Amino acid sequence: MSGVAIAAPTGGWNARDSLAEMPPNDAIELINIVPNGDSCKTRPGHAAFSSDVSAAHQTLETYHGATDMMISGHGGKLVNMTAGGTGVNMGTGFSDNKWYVTEFKNRMIFCNAHASDGVQDWDGTTLTATSISGATSADLIHCTTFKGRVLYVEKDSQSFWYPGAGSYAGAMTEFDLSQQTTTGGDLLYIIDWTRDGGSGVDDLAVFVFTTGEIIVYAGSDPGSATDWAMLGRFRIGSPLGRRSATQIGGDVIIKTVDGYVPLSAALQEGRYSEQSNFSFKIDPAVKTATQTYKDNFGWESIHWPQASWFLVNVPISTTESVQHIRNTTKGAWCKATGLNASCWTVFDDNLYFGSPDGFIYKIAGGSDQGAFIPFTGTMAFNYFGNPHNKKQLTAVEPITNFSYPKYIDSRIHIDHDLKSLPPYDAPPEAASSDWNVGEWDVASWVVSTPGSKTARKNIVGTGYALALTVRFKSRAQSVTWHATHFWLKQAGIV
């Protein structure tokens, strides 16, 4: 009998390759466990940041001014939620809570799609109905800052409107793109994009349509024949709503029915190749989700640099969502459950989400509101160096820092047969609080235990290829999974 050590699946979730061809450091399933460079680590929990406002949060944005603020759209209001609680009203009487924003000269500009609301702007103190002429304010439903002015998308049209240079308000001029489109559809949003990740003369205006058609312009003045020119026309899959584009580094990731597509690749390849997709390794799972849930509100993505996360919110119902999370350093994916979000923001370097249940939650701590978080990892099938030899497995031993290693449920799958698994037990573990958040002398703090702990489990299984599922629950600890030991005996040759 010999022992073999296999590293934790740092390659992340792989929904693309067949079970027989999957690399050994990938995972068939990785739920609430984030792959890092040298290990896999459980995701943090979430704790209530605000009080219940008795309305679903449908917008959550961070205003960057003299004082940064967290702003929510819910219950017909725009509310400053920076201090938690039920917040401080900025404006009320609105009909739509799905706002789209841009920042310009220390102001946040708000647009939505309701005919009675119109464009609003916030200067850090006062919310004002933006003064607009030439265009109908309530028809301007999306806004983008581009080269010293704000560009507005007109509802149910192929036009955008722009003010004078250096302005976000006042007299507007229409620019009709209908003569440039070849696939029809409405203008969805505008992206200010530069391939170097900064801002300057090389910035491009990217116009994205509901059909997936993209038209790119260079220049700074849409009213100038010499300072405004179309560079090209491209196609991607249909985007998943007005929040489907997210800046990350020098690129923009667009969530489409084809997958999560880098704008840089889309402008070169269109829909021809999926290998350049940001989500290439999980594209089959992404396509299943987009086809099933594409019409649901809540598709949104966010970059959380402090954790090296790129997170995509997948709304599977009006009250429930899952997340696809990519480690931006490693490039590996996992799936998160238990975070029922409708909108996200990064505020003061921390990650928050607004929920349909009326709360804003902070990603922090070791529990989901005091409840156990379930963690699951299914390693790729492994031939252990020889596909022609049968192996008899006698024991496994996950190497983690979990304080309750005997409560790690280990199950073996044989020869690409993924069997269903029975329920498993939670450890006798008290709920935790994030450091210095819970009540002193009452709350238990999140534990990050150094070193490794093991509990060998006898498992009998015979086959050519073996895959292990490890499952456990915690509500007080950040757990790191380093590797797994397998004890094997040769069981015959074909």
Q: Three-state secondary structure along 327-342? A: ECCCCEEEEECCCCCC
**Which residue in 315, 306, 299 sits closest to 346, CA to CA?**
306
DSSP class of residue 163 equals: -
Residue 26 lies in a domain: yes
Instruction: Read off the pLDDT band of 221 (50, 70, 90).
Output: very high
Report the greatest alpha carbon distance in the chain.
82
> Exposed (0-12), middle (13-18) or buried (19+): which is 460, by Cβ within 10 Å?
exposed
pTM for this predicted structure: 0.93
Residue 394 located in a structural domain: yes
Residue 175 has pLDDT above 70, yes or no: yes
Identify whether 25 is part of a domain: yes
CATH number of the domain bearing residue 475: 2.60.120
Q: How far apart are CA 445 and CA 448, in angstroms?
A: 10
Residue the block writes with tokens 């280990």: 410
Note down the domain range covering 438.
2-44+374-493
Listing DSSP states for 117-144 in one string gives T--EEE-SS-EEE--EESS-GGGEEEEE
Q: In the numeric block, which tokens belong to residue 252? A: 């923009």
Question: Is the CB of residue 382 less than 8 Å from the CB of residue 391?
Answer: no
- Quote the CA–CA distance of 486 and 375 in Å, as a whole number: 20
Nearest-Å Rg of the Cα atoms of the chain is 25
Across the range 191-204, mean pLDDT stands at: 70
Distance CA 360, CA 344 (A): 9
Is residue 159 included in any domain, yes or no? no
Look at residue 461 and tell me if it is in a domain. yes
How many structural domains are present in the chain? 1
Residue 27 lies in a domain: yes
Q: What is the pLDDT of residues 21-31, one digit of tens each?
A: 999 999 999 99
Average pLDDT over residues 54-79: 97
pLDDT at 439 over 50: no
CA distance linking residue 320 with residue 318, whole number of Å: 6
pLDDT-based confidence at residue 492 (cuts at 50, 70, 90): low
In a domain, 351, yes or no: no
Note the pLDDT tens digit of each residue in 315-359.
999 999 999 999 999 999 999 999 999 999 999 999 999 999 999
pLDDT of residue 3: 85
| Residue 9 domain flag | yes
93-101 LR contacts (CB < 8 Å, sep 24+): 97/55, 97/56, 97/57, 97/58, 97/59, 97/73, 98/58, 98/59, 98/73, 98/297, 99/59, 99/61, 99/73, 100/141, 100/142, 100/143, 100/189, 100/242, 100/243, 101/59, 101/61, 101/143
How many residues appear in the chain?
494
